[in-house]
Structure 1
Amino acid sequence: MRLTGRGVAVLLASIAAYVLGELGGYAVFRALAGIGLGALIAATLLTVRQPHVSVRRGLTPDRVERGRPALATLRVRNTGARWQPAFSAHDSAGDERQLVRIRRIAPAGEATYRYELPTARRGRIQVGPLTLERTDPLGLAVNRLPTGETATLWVHPKRHPTRTVVAGRPRHHHIGRTADDSLRGSADLRDVRPYVVGDEVRHLHWKATARTGQLMVRDFVDPDQPRLTVLLDTRAESLPEAPFEEAAEVAASILFAASMAGHRCRLLTSAGADLAAPGGALASRQFLDELCIAQRTDDRAGLLPASLTTGPSSGGAIVVVTGVRGTASDLAPLLVRYSSVTVLGLGPVHGIAPILGARVILASDAAEALKQWSGVIE
């Protein structure tokens, strides 16, 4: 418990009035000092008792597209044997604070409150901890008690309708060995490797198992299933803050559509992030989570991370989401490593020169870029 700014002012004024009353012999000042000190004592007695409650908070949903509603549900239960007086609760969500006024609760009673969380900006937002607050009617004293666990709200980039690439095929293993994250499950044998939990028993290679003394399975690659790689340019010099948000939306829309179509996808950034996952709902969420925390960097590193220019060729299609200024030399290493190369340049000034062997799309925002992308992909 502590005095508020108003309470401190009343305390100082009461002391000054008492001193003035004693020195000047004014009874009225001594009376005012007594009233002020009495109000402070009463405020202290009203707020010294902390709320005896248990608090649970849930987020619905805990992952949301930017601009879509997200709700926090607060359940407050009186754990005491007496009525719990009314108090306030302050919940934080990033830089914003939400005030919830809790009414009186009967013994063993429970009250539920719902309030919206901020989703206007992309990012990973920490919600909580909750602060319980009791104050007197005059606002002279306050008692604050942090309680409850923190939660995480993932605000994903906004997604736009788009088609997904269907012609991005990885290289056949007779042409060149695919990358280590290749798909498994077809009849195209790639290698024999140690068994890991989750592998299908029917793929066990008994001769290799007998020879090595450990379970070995056949590692298959599907050369006909589309593969898509998306490279997001995170260099601050290439994409200012507003165009970078548009670029994140483009990457999110393309990866979400491809993942939900069951395609193997990979996301890389100039800053070094590298995530590959098979198709499906879980994979799409992993990509959206990664794009949720992607930030611009001020370093002078190049556009292409080393993993794209070294090691085995990945094949398939690659989409480079960058600013509207660039040169062909930046992307030349990709032309011999991927069957399809598309450059999506975002920004108000169109300055990417035509690149032989690559498709170049220039747009001012994400919606325009994806509209053009949907019209030209195979």
Structure 2
Amino acid sequence: MAVLAAAVVCFGLAEWAGYPMLRGLAGAALGAVVAALVITARRPRVAVTREIYPDRVRRGRPAFARLRVENAGSRRQGEFTAGDLVGSGFHAVTVRALPPGAQAVYHYELPTLRRGRFQVGPLTLQRVDPLGLGRSRLTTGDTTTLWVHPHLYPVRALVGGHPRHHHEGRTTDDPLHGSLDLRDVREYVVGDEVRHLHWKATARTGQLMVRDYVDPNQPRFTALLDTRAELTTAAVFEDAVDLAGSLATASATAGHRCRLLTPGGLDVSERGGASSVRRLLDELCQLEPVAGTVPLVPAELARTGDHGGCLVVVMAGAHHADLAALAALRQHYTTTVVVVLGGGRTGVEVKVPGVRVLHATDAKDAARRWNVVVAG
């Protein structure tokens, strides 16, 4: 617009003062604007596909995008610039000229320094004339999701159930079944065992109710991650997520039943194994601090517990009410450990009878202390 305005001004001065040079400058400027419009009027007509490998990565580990651009038309496609949205950032790729039916593949590294679930794409195609006077933009292509998981530290899994034996010795494979304790009576969910229907409760409530059993001998791990924003900083919160992810991953990899809870309402239970690790880390990579005044121990955990498993509480600070809540939980678990990161911010000393408390500066220090003091 500035060049076009300058052309009009030059032409007006040329007509008023009779300067041929100004008339020539006005014509040149107008010609440049017209040429820019002609060059950028034809938008790129290409097909774009994108792949991310791997689509799930630990924070700080490399992840890449493969961008495939194909000219499916019958005319030559000139060079243009493609900008790919990556989370809140922007990554530019220069796409060279493509003959009809040709394709080109481009690779670039994705940012993985922040934990989270990020959308990659759509692609913004942009053409600019040589003088930079005009440009056209076109959004195309699909979007892909990149999961940046917490950083994981090497920690040992702590068995929180009772040793398993059979007539030939100790079992190390899949847990034996047959010894079940009644944990709760709840509403029927599709997929529940019909043989566990509780007919008396069904008749009393008018809804299908089932007995919720738990194997008292199977190793179980429960992680309670304190996500209350008032008690932590951004750096300590990331350390807490890293530590909780490391402990949950070690237990799930060992085949233990795992449960992850937060004061903000997250409550995920998994049976153990690689698929469980993936879901737990997916949940953790989206976790954010929760504002407001909420109790440390969720009501569901305070009511039932896991009866005999291992409970680990990861926190940065505590209120006096938190200590009483943790003391009440201790009776439900074989082992209870509280990990306090960053020295705490409230000045309340975390000390609960019968509960082992670890103080650590960060997640790396906590993992080292866990391996030496708790799981060693």
TM-score range, shorter chain: 0.7 to 0.9
> What are the Cα deviations for residues 186-238 of structure 1, in whole angstroms up to 9, with x where unaligned?
11255799896698xxx979xx9xxxxxxxx9987432221011011111111
Structure-1 residue corresponding to 2:179: 188
For residue 348 of structure 1, report the CA deviation from its aligned partner: 4.2
2:365 is aligned with 1:368: yes
Structure-2 residue corresponding to 1:20: 13
Structure-1 residue corresponding to 2:156: 163
Q: Distance in 2 between matches of 1:164 and 1:254?
A: 7
Provide structure 1 residue ranges, at least 5 long, that are not aligned to the other structure: 1-7, 171-182, 209-216
Residue type of the partner of 2:255?
G
Q: Distance in 2 between matches of 1:360 and 1:153?
A: 36
Contact 1:89 1:99 in 2 (8 A): yes
Change (3 A) 1:375 1:124: same
For residue 353 of structure 1, report the CA deviation from its aligned partner: 3.4
Structure-2 residue corresponding to 1:180: none
Q: Distance in 2 between matches of 1:185 and 1:10?
A: 80
2:133 is aligned with 1:140: yes
Contact 1:188 1:220 in 2 (8 A): no
Counterparts of 1:71-90 in structure 2 under 5 Å?
Answer: 71-90=64-83
Structure-1 residue corresponding to 2:273: 280
> SS where residue 52 of structure 2 aligns?
strand
2:330 is aligned with 1:344: no
Structure-1 residue corresponding to 2:48: 55
For residue 168 of structure 1, report the CA deviation from its aligned partner: 3.7
Change (3 A) 1:42 1:95: same
The match for 1:300 among 293, 317, 326 is 293
TM-score after normalising by structure 2: 0.85
> SS where residue 335 of structure 1 aligns?
helix
TM-score after normalising by structure 1: 0.85
Residue type of the partner of 1:90?
G
Contact 1:204 1:218 in 2 (8 A): no
Contact 2:181 2:216 in 1 (8 A): no
Residue type of the partner of 1:258?
S
> What are the Cα deviations for residues 273-297 of structure 1, in whole angstroms up to 9, with x where unaligned?
1110110111001110111011012
Q: Distance in 2 between matches of 1:256 and 1:349?
A: 25
Structure-1 residue corresponding to 2:203: none
Structure-2 residue corresponding to 1:94: 87
For residue 126 of structure 1, report the CA deviation from its aligned partner: 1.1
Change (3 A) 1:162 1:220: same
Provide structure 2 residue ranges, at least 5 long, that are not aligned to the other structure: 164-173, 200-209
Q: Distance in 2 between matches of 1:251 and 1:353?
A: 18
Q: Distance in 1 between matches of 2:107 and 2:135?
A: 24
Q: Distance in 2 between matches of 1:260 and 1:190?
A: 25
Q: Distance in 2 between matches of 1:268 and 1:367?
A: 22
> SS where residue 44 of structure 1 aligns?
helix
Change (3 A) 1:219 1:295: closer
Q: Distance in 2 between matches of 1:38 and 1:287?
A: 61
For residue 354 of structure 1, report the CA deviation from its aligned partner: 2.3
Contact 2:316 2:344 in 1 (8 A): no
Aligned-residue CA RMSD in angstroms?
2.8
**Pairs aligned (count):** 348
For residue 167 of structure 1, report the CA deviation from its aligned partner: 2.9
Change (3 A) 1:220 1:9: same
For residue 252 of structure 1, report the CA deviation from its aligned partner: 0.5
Q: Distance in 2 between matches of 1:258 and 1:155?
A: 21
Q: Distance in 2 between matches of 1:321 and 1:67?
A: 22
